[in-house]
Amino acid sequence: MSDSQAAVQNPAHAGGHSPALLHHFADEQQQRDSASLGMWIFLATEVMFFGGLFCAYLIYRLAYFGDFAAASQTLDWRLGGTNTIVLICSSLTVVFAVYAAQQGKRSMLLISLVLTLVFGFAFLGIKGVEYAEKFEKHHVPGASFQFDNVKVPGHADQIANPHHAEIYFALYFIMTGLHALHMIIGIGIFVWLFLMAWKGRLTPEYNTPLEIGGLYWHFVDIVWIYLFPLLYLIDLHK
Amino acid sequence: MSEHSSSSLGFYVGIWAALIAGTILTVVAAHIDMGPFNAAVALIIATVKALLVALFFMHIKGAHERLLKLVVISTIFFLIILLALSMADYGTRYFS
């Protein structure tokens, strides 16, 4: 049943308001504000969730600074930096998608959503290359972890403590892994949004799913904006 | 709410360019020896980038709903409590 048919058949729509407006809201503005407020409260819980991990990182980095620098420099900042740019580009295409839905520009909306998905998969692909390298070098915490005779940057006479480096890699995998999980969920949401857009369900009158899905995507981008300098860029000048 | 912001596509591209510039700046800054200030500079650049995303891409600026700003500010407030009280503990443990 299409929305216009619903408006005709449901006597509650006799007043002629938009079929997208649920009856417990005063108007469409209030409906949109309620949805995004709910999303922001969810994002507040996400900030506290990642905040605990950042706090753990901060405590161990201050305690084992040189070991963290030595472990951090086994990562390739070029790959991390490329992923930062990929995510920033995907945020731009999300903003374009929201704009296109509000303006009712169908082809721009669909192209923006496809580009967002392409950037999302590119991010995960690069992350996969990095993870594979960690497994090859035995830098994954666990029984086969190896980090012997690695010098502390800036201190040629000091060898990094493998146990402290293992803590760095544990934090690296937990933080980037949870971030990657958020990316995978985000890609799922955007596939669903693409299907909604394809069916013409995202209109200038009703595009709330895209708007709050976009908020989630931007939040995941912000988490990476902090992860990149904290994990990849320790003491590179030494 | 975002419909009430008069942001144009060109404006969004400008924010995107600023975010790309910030990414390049943070990589360049990491290669310069600033003594103890390297980490602080990296975090300041990251915070500026996060603010650009939150204010303009997530439309906090120009938001219609005032309650939303309360939620955002209290989120930051509780994050600061989490980090500051933890560091007040761990940062001072080895003094005695």
d(CA A233, CA A230): 6
**Whether the predicted pLDDT of B1 surpasses 60:** no
Query: What single string gives the DSSP state of each residue in B76-91?
Result: HHHHHHHHHHHHHHHT
What is the nearest CA distance from B65 to chain A, expressed in angstroms? 6
Its ipTM equals 0.91
- pLDDT for residue A31: 87
Residue A24 vs residues A16, A30, A130, A213, B61: alpha-carbon distances, Å = 16, 10, 49, 23, 27
Residue among A55, A222, A234 minimizing CB distance to B50: A222
- Give the tens place of pLDDT for each residue, B19-67: 999 999 999 999 999 988 999 999 999 999 999 999 999 999 888 778 8
Q: Pick the residue from chain A with its C-alpha nearest to B90.
A: A59
| Residues of chain B contacting residue A211, judged by C-beta atoms under 8 Å apart | 2
d(CA A45, CA A20): 29
- Give the tens place of pLDDT for each residue, A55-65: 999 999 999 99
The torsion angle over the Cα atoms of residues A109, A115, A119 and A121, rounded to 10 degrees, is 100
Q: Do B30 and A44 touch (CB under 8 A)?
A: no
**Whether the predicted pLDDT of B72 surpasses 90:** yes
CA A170 to chain centre: 20
Q: Please, are residues A213 and A58 in contact by the beta-carbon 8 Å criterion?
A: no
- Give the tens place of pLDDT for each residue, A148-183: 989 999 888 999 999 999 999 999 999 999 999 999
Q: Please, are residues B70 and A40 in contact by the beta-carbon 8 Å criterion?
A: no
Q: Do B30 and A77 touch (CB under 8 A)?
A: yes
What is the nearest CA distance from A62 to chain B, expressed in angstroms? 8
What pTM does this model have? 0.90
- Can you tell me the mean pLDDT for A88-98? 97
In 3D space, the residue among A168, A226, A208, A158 whose CA is nearest the CA of residue A33 turns out to be A208
What is the nearest CA distance from A68 to chain B, expressed in angstroms? 13
Res. A11 pLDDT band, cuts 50 70 90: low
What percentage of chain A carries pLDDT values higher than 90? Answer: 81
d(CA A44, CA B72): 7
- The position carrying tokens 């939303």 is B68
